[in-house]
Amino acid sequence: MAEPFLLGVLGGMGPLAAVDFQYQLLRAVNSASDQQQIPMVVWNVPQIPDRQKALAGQGPSPLPQLIDGIARLNRVGASHIVIACNTAHHWFEALQAASRAPLLHIADAAAEAAAALAPASVGLIATQGTLDAGWFQRRFAQRGIETLLPTAAEIADYFVPGCYAVKRGDIAAGGALLARQAQGLLDRGAERLVLACTEVPLALRAISWQPPSAAIDPAEAMAAVCARLWQQQQSAI
């Protein structure tokens, strides 16, 4: 008999992003009743060291707290675990090694969503750590999709202050800055945008900013993968 489906969500990075991901899960299932929604348990504890600062060598590693969150999700019986933070996937392999339940990688979900749209190029909005890691770029290249990256000036002037504005609750100000980052990538020829930082899509929605073609939200793509896994298990019962 298959293990009961229970999605574990490792959140807190930031806490608003984890709440937004739960909303994406609800939308992805498109259920007719409460009982058809995905059963989940969420570890949304924000006392985790800053991921961007850790990767820049300016702060402690978040790995011990991330492993603690993974352990807690395993103890309550999670059958699958997702990380509601793109940058935290830097520690994906270490977290998978510490977990009984399989972890789902957000870049795999984003690449699947991008392949379905088949753009020639995408503009990738993400932290410097995520850009340097190359998870998204490699997966897009395997599907014949070129990735355009932000310039160093855009990251310093728009992305970083925009991201931290959202984290401190000034979502409109953050959205205005992040929209300038997005527009820069579009101006350089990106056919689609990939919003690979969980603060970005919610900030752009807050100011009602939309690109000419729908952006790819990796969190939304991950929610779709989770909904498919849940529905597949339900149909097999």
Domain map of the chain by residue range? 7-105+220-236, 107-218
Q: Do the first three CATH levels of 7-105+220-236 and 107-218 match, i.e. the same topology?
A: yes
CATH 3.40.50.1860 for the 107-218 domain, yes or no: yes
115 contacts 122 by C-beta, under 8 angstroms: no
Query: In sequence order, what are the residues at sequence separation of 6 or more whose Cβ sits closer than 8 angstroms to the Cβ of residue 11?
Result: 17, 18, 19, 21, 42, 43, 44, 45, 84, 85
Among 7, 40, 83, 85, which one carries the catalytic annotation? 85
Contact present, 13 and 47 (Cβ < 8 Å): no
Query: Does 197 participate in catalysis according to the annotation?
Result: yes
State the catalytic residue, choosing from 110, 131, 197, 203.
Answer: 197
Active site residue 85: yes
Single pTM value for the model: 0.95
Domain 7-105+220-236 falls under CATH 3.40.50.1860: yes
User: Would you write out the chain's pLDDT as a tens digit for each of its 237 residues?
Assistant: 568 999 999 999 989 999 999 999 999 998 889 999 999 999 999 999 999 999 999 999 999 999 999 999 999 999 999 999 999 999 999 999 999 999 999 999 999 999 999 999 999 999 999 999 999 999 999 999 999 999 999 999 999 999 999 999 999 999 999 999 999 999 999 999 999 999 999 999 999 999 999 999 999 999 999 999 999 998 887
